[in-house]
Structure 1
Amino acid sequence: MTHPVEIRFLPAAGADLAAREGRIALLLHDRGPMPQGLPPATRRALQRVIASKAWADVKPGAALELAFPAGLAADALQLVRLPRRTDAQTARKAGAAIGARMGRNAVTVVAPAHERLADVALGLALRGYDFSVYKSQPAEAAEQPDVDAPAAPPQGVSHSGAAEDARLADAAAPAPEPAALAQDDAAAPPQPGAASVTILCDDPEAAARAAQDGAALAEGVFFTRDLVNEPANVLTTTDFADRLLAMRELGLEVEVLDEDELARLGMRALLGVGQGSDSPSKVVVMRWNGGGEEAPLALVGKGVVFDTGGISIKPAAGMEEMTMDMGGAGVVAGVMRTLALRRAKANVVGLVGLVENMPDGRAQRPGDIVRSMKGDTIEVINTDAEGRLVLADVLWYAQDRFNPAAVVNLATLTGAVIIALGHEHAGLFSNDDSLAGNLLKAARAEGEGLWRMPLAPAYDELIKSRLADVKNTGGRPAGSITAAQFLQRFIRSGMPWAHLDIAGVALPPGETALAPKGATGWGVMTLNRLVRDRFESR
């Protein structure tokens, strides 16, 4: 997988900035001494810039750049405005301004004293993401994977429908430390041409400790982004499951339910979606047991690795983006990775339904009627409304097996939510005001847009079926709401539940504050915060 850039924290005192190659970024606030270690020519240039209108127009968290600065070996000097007292989002934005320009260079960040260095480091790491595994590399670069065939599964990994065979002998074994952040007493300058970051500060040991959870979070976000960015000829249902099985090494319990087991359980709604594909349908269960005997939080993700629409086939234009229709499952996987890496004191189970929706002689047809694991019959009006069929069975299974404290599901479920909210907010639907409030609070704290949408019995009229208990779509009116009403049928009475429709935020059309163009990993930070604030023991 793609890993965040390595970040070292070193003492600012005595650093020879003149000799540092690559890029240098200075965190500057409105009042304060000029950084030490700059040669006279650089200081004069810096004083001139700070007195200019161009610098006055730079907003907090943004930057101004000088190319080939006088007196420095560095190729660029980046001046980042960051007030001494600021919020987490502005600090992350400041880090992102550095990460966006980083490329493959060595970067030195000069920040002698700032209380938000952990947020600066997180923003830098997140914005520095670069999914370039399929771009041609120089001859000396590492060999790239064969894109004509799915990647081979990890050695020693096998599939099993039995939970006992999938569990680790010691789930409490220490996880590897996130590779993104380290504290080092050595003050050697980073080497040019190698993507690395050194943050020079007053107390590097304390700064590194404060940034460790951010390193775990960045790893989880990167894992989600990689999954969403992967092409469907590589990220098949089997390859997806193998990547999740490999997270056993982090201390997660992971098991895979195959089609025979899913049929035995009665998951006919899920199996119907994938029956036209050569890629076998699967459900993967990931468990993190860090919270004693408490009932777990259940996270459920839609994992349609490619969605043609099935027999109700989509238009050709833009269909290539349907590699992202497993975005909900990708977020669940990224959250579980983060929780394991930071050793969260909570019980969380992540379940993902992995299918591929293809047109074929065996494919599900409009007008078919399937029976869900719950026992409800569903008339399939449109085979392109398939994600809710997958979620219906996995939601019921999660409640039936784990009796969770609450359920949160995520899915790139409807285009209608994009019409309603654009690419700025995900849609939140919930039967529980407390859980909804916690999610909204967590999203605000992490700077991820989330907006609550209505649920009401009146919308059930739109999905009444003449022939079955319910139909899988009510047409265009209130499309995202009727999809949520459909899912609510598969939530038991009294179970706190929230549905996050992330169709507009998983793969927006352009870059965002913390991500280049492509997959954002939206939701990993919000759900990690939800776990920390509501479900984690102190």
Structure 2
Amino acid sequence: MTHPVEIDFTETATDRLAAHEGRVALIVSQNGRLPAGLPRGTRDAALRALESRAGKALKPGDTLELAFPAGMAAEALQLVVLPGGASVAEARKAGAAIGARLGKTHTLVLAGGHKRAGEVALGIALRGYDFSVYKTDSENGDDGAARDAGSDTPPQTVSRQGAAQDARLSDAQTPGPAGNGNGDAPVPDKARVTFMARDPQALARSAQDAAAVAEGVFFTRDLVNEPANVLTTTDFADRLKAMEEIGLTVEVLDEDALRDLGMRALLAVGQGSASPSKVVVMRWQGGDKDAAPLALCGKGVVFDSGGISIKPAAGMEEMTMDMGGAGVVAGVMRTLALRRAKANVVGVVGLVENMPDGAAQRPGDIVKSMKGDTIEVINTDAEGRLVLADVLWYAQTRFEPRAIIDLATLTGAVIIALGHENAGVFANDDRLADNILSAARAEGEGAWRLPLAPAYDKLIKSRLADMKNTGGRPAGSITAAQFLQRFIRKDQAWAHIDIAGVALPPSATELAPKGATGWGVMTLDRLVRDRFEEE
């Protein structure tokens, strides 16, 4: 898998600046105060830049770049404005501005004693993500053989190096065997980052949990970015099974087991595909052994053609991201295991592919769920709710969770409602909803609560079955949530998060290049810390 950029932490030594040949990022306060020890030519150029009209317009987290600064061997000096009282979001923004320009060189960051330096490091790691395993040109350093994304050897979080006793966060891993069996992929030149800080050991220790979060986000992004001819249901399940190496307990249920359980709604979605449907159960038992877990459920449609109700050709290539909910659940479970969270959490994901062939389900079919309710299939492109119906019921009946949260790229309607800025949150429990929204705000991930109400149920009333799988265009994201609520037990705290608009937005975001964002890993990790983790 893709791992975060290698970040070292060392004591401040400004005498090393002049000879550094890569990039230098200098964190400065809004009053333009510069650290002592800068080469004179560099100091003069930096002060002039900060006093310019452009420099005075900089806001917290903004940067100004000087190419080939006087008195230094560096190719660029990046002035990063970050007041001492900066917020977490501003610090991550500053880090992202550095991370977006890493290239394949060594970046030196002068952080001094800034209290938000750890958040700057996380911003660098998140924005420095680069999914380029399929690029074959020499500039990308790849011979076309995909790296083994199933490798789950955890990175070192802190190590000491010789007399300097530098601290290291999130060592990059050497690529494993090529995914197509053609041998080892070469190791490309990689970006490196060194933080110069007043107390590097303390900074590295404080950044360990952030390193686990970055690993989880990257795992999710990799899964969502993978093409469907690589990330089949079997490959997806194998990657999750490999996380047993980091302490998760992982169980893969095949189609025979799913039939025995009565998951006919889920199986109906995948019956037109050559890829077998699966359910994967991931368990992290970090809390009291008798405590009920938090359950996270994810929609994992590795490719959604729409089935017999086939989608338009334009944009269909992006339907490789329809497993985004399962990807988020996997990334959260990875993070919890890497940081050894003191909580019990179970992740359950339904992995299917929705394809049209002679065996595919048809509009008008009636299927029976694991719960026993019957569903009239009006549109085979409203398939994710069929998958989640069985997964939600299974998670409740097997694990009796304290709360259950499902995530899915479920509806285009949520994009019409909220655009690409916010995920839609639905819940039957106000406290759980408030906790999710609070966690999302703390992590800078947009989320907005949308309503549930019995009045919407009439839109999914079926003439022939207990319900139909779509209520049409009006309130499309709400009727989908109403459908899922029918598979939630009475008095079970539940929330549904529709991430269709935020999983793969059309352009880069502040903390991610264009492509998969990994939205939700940070929010749900924060939720576990704040509400479900033991003291």
| TM-score interval, smaller chain | over 0.9
Aligned pairs for 1:136-151 within 5 A: 136-138=136-138, 141=141, 143-145=143-145
Please tell me the residue identity of whatever aligns with 1:121. A
Does structure 1 residue 453 correspond to structure 2 residue 431? no
1:345-364 aligned at under 5 Å gives the runs 345-364=342-361
Moved over 6 A (4+): 151-154
Unaligned runs of 5+ in 2: 169-187
Q: Shift of residue 152 of structure 1? A: 10
Aligned equivalent of 1:246: 242
Which residue matches 1:488? 485
Q: Secondary structure at the match of 2:302?
A: strand
Give the Å deviation of 1:186.
Answer: 3.1
3-state SS of the aligned residue for 2:346? strand
CA distance in 2, matches of 1:498, 1:134: 37
Question: 2:223 is matched by which residue type in structure 1?
Answer: L
What letter is aligned with 1:283? V
TM-aligned CA deviation for residue 439 of structure 1: 0.2
Q: Please name the residue that 1:186 is paired with.
A: 164
Structure 1 residue aligned with 2:433 = 436
User: What's the CA shift string for 1:459-487, capped at 9, x where partnerless?
Assistant: 00000000000000000000000000000
The answer to whether the 8 Å contact 2:95/2:124 transfers is: yes
Q: Which residue pairs with 1:170 in the alignment?
A: none
Structure 1 residues 153-168: aligned runs within 5 Å: none
- Deviation sequence 1:14-55 (CA, Å, 0-9, x none): 541001111000000024742233211111111211221110
Measured after TM superposition, the shift of residue 225 of structure 1 is 0.2
Number of the residue aligned with 1:217 = 213
Alpha-carbon distance in 1 for matches of 2:145, 2:154: 26
Q: Please list, as runs of the form range in 1=range in 2, the aligned pairs for 1:349-498 lying within 5 A after superposition.
A: 349-498=346-495
1:309 and 2:306 aligned: yes
TM-score normalised per structure 1: 0.92
Contact map agreement 2:247 2:284 (CA 8 A) in 1: yes
Paired letter, 2:135: K
Q: Which amino acid aligns with 2:62?
A: A
> Equivalent residue of 1:350, what SS?
strand
Q: How far is 1:143 from its partner?
A: 4.5
1:303 counterpart SS class: strand
CA, structure 1 residues 82+123, in 2 after alignment: closer, same or farther (shift >3 Å)? Answer: same
How big is each residue's C-alpha offset from its partner over 1:127-162, in whole Å with a ceiling of 9 and x where there is no partner?
000000000143994544369xxx7977xxxxxxxx
Q: Spell out, residue by residue over 1:161-215, the C-alpha distance to the aligned partner (whole angstroms, 9 max, x if none).
A: xxxxxxxxxxxxxx96544765656389x9x954100000100000001111000
Distance 1:531 1:434 in 2: 14
What SS is found at the alignment partner of 1:3?
coil
Give the equivalent residue in structure 2 for 1:65. 65
Counterpart among 496, 499, 504 of residue 502 in structure 1: 499
Aligned to 2:517: 520
> Could you tell me how far 1:13 is from its partner in structure 2?
3.7
Aligned partner of 1:3 in structure 2 is 3
The residue number in structure 1 matching 2:123 is: 123
Distance 1:102 1:295 in 2: 44
Q: Does the Cα contact within 8 Å between 2:133 and 2:146 map onto a contact in 1? A: no
Q: Match of 1:491, as an amino acid?
A: I
Task: Return 46-55 or 360-369, whichever deviates more.
Answer: 46-55
What secondary structure, in the 3-state scheme, does the structure 2 residue paired with 1:394 have?
helix
Asked if the contact 1:182/1:208 (under 8 Å) is kept, the reply is: no
SS in 1 for 2:303: strand
The one-letter code of the counterpart of 1:382 is: N
AA in 2 matched with 1:509 = P
**Shift, 1:391, TM fit:** 0.2
What's the CA shift string for 1:475-516, capped at 9, x where partnerless? Answer: 000000000000000000000000000000000000001000
Q: TM-score, normalised by structure 2?
A: 0.93
Aligned to 1:41: 41
Consecutive unaligned residues of structure 1, counting only runs of 5 or more, are: 155-174
Alpha-carbon distance in structure 1 between the residues aligned to 2:468 and 2:165: 65
The answer to which of 30-39 and 90-99 deviates more is 30-39
Amino acid at match of 2:74: A
In 1, Cα distance between equivalents of 2:511 and 2:276: 35
How does 1:79-158 map onto structure 2 within 5 Å? Answer: 79-138=79-138, 141=141, 143-145=143-145
Identity of aligned residues (%): 72
Tell me what 1:167 maps to. Answer: none
| 1: CA distance, partners of 2:99 / 2:149 | 32
3-state SS of the aligned residue for 2:387?
A: helix
- Sort the Cα spacing of 1:239 and 1:424 in 2 relative to 1 into closer, same or farther, 3 A: same
